[in-house]
Amino acid sequence: NAGVTQTPKFQVLKTGQSMTLQCAQDMNHNSMYWYRQDPGMGLRLIYYSASEGTTDKGEVPNGYNVSRLNKREFSLRLESAAPSQTSVYFCASSEVLRRERIHEQYFGPGTRLTVT
């Protein structure tokens, strides 16, 4: 099992360029998440998908779009990158969080994005 994989690991963009961050999980999880992590800010939720076919905004969705392509894959798109989007991006997956016994989110290794 690879767990949660993300590509690319690093990316440098110029302001206004677009790109898609890819995420896949092989644990048959229903829910998937995109976070960004900035110094001193912890993890902030961008978008999430509670199940295949649904997506919802998180805390900081502006400037991003997502696609839950199938149960395995959840991509994050920056249509027109801005320097404020320089961050480390983490994808995560979990079983349905409503069930108390299913609580753990598994994180991917992260993508370090720099926008100049």
Partner 1 sequence: EDKVVQSPLSLVVHEGDTVTLNCSYEVTNFRSLLWYKQEKKAPTFLFMLTSSGIEKKSGRLSSILDKKELFSILNITATQTGDSAIYLCAVLNQGAQKLVFGQGTRLTINP
For the segment 35-64, give every residue that binds partner 1 (CB under 8 A): 35, 40-45, 48, 50, 58-59
The stretch among 18-26, 63-71, 74-82, 96-104 that binds partner 1 (CB under 8 A) is 96-104
Q: Tokens in use for 35?
A: 């976070």
Enumerate residues 6+ apart whose C-beta is below 8 A from 108.
3, 4, 5, 6, 23, 90, 91, 92
Helices and strands, counts by H and E, the chain: 0, 11
Q: Tokens in use for 32?
A: 């998937």
For the segment 1-40, give every residue that binds partner 1 (CB under 8 A): 4, 31, 33, 35, 40
Binding site for partner 1 (CB under 8 A): 4, 31, 33, 35, 40-45, 48, 50, 58-59, 90, 96-98, 100, 103-105, 107-110
